[in-house]
Amino acid sequence: MSPVRLTGQLVCGTAEQRRAVEENLPLHTRLTRAEPGCVSFEVTQTHDPLVWQVDELFSDAESFAAHQRRVADSAWGRATAGIERHYEVEGA
């Protein structure tokens, strides 16, 4: 099994979207890092306060898919559903 790496950016269009990220990110980070197969998970604000760098590494495609399913129906997923994402996934 090969690892799955997601890299890219979460791009907020408004200050309201930025606040949704700021408010929901701590719990989302804790829950994701606790998931089986999560090797690393970092979401950091860039020099642009509306843009966040996202770097995720999961041990295999199965754990990455489980993460995606969990996130889809989570508080994070609902709060950030309308925010633009520019991601590349390798190994899925």
DSSP 12: -
Q: What is the pLDDT of residue 52?
A: 98
Q: Which CATH class is domain 4-90?
A: alpha beta
| Segments making up each domain of the chain, as ranges | 4-90
Q: What is the pTM of this model?
A: 0.93
Q: What does the pLDDT look like over 55-69, one tens digit per residue? A: 999 999 999 999 999
Share of the chain above pLDDT 70, in %: 100
Say whether pLDDT at 83 is over 80: yes
Query: Who's near 38: CB < 8 A, 6+ residues apart?
Result: 32, 56, 57, 58, 59, 63, 67
Find residue 45's DSSP bridge partners.
52
Cβ-Cβ contacts under 8 Å for 60 (sequence gap 6 or more): 1, 2, 3, 4, 37
Per-residue confidence at 1, pLDDT binned at 50, 70, 90? confident
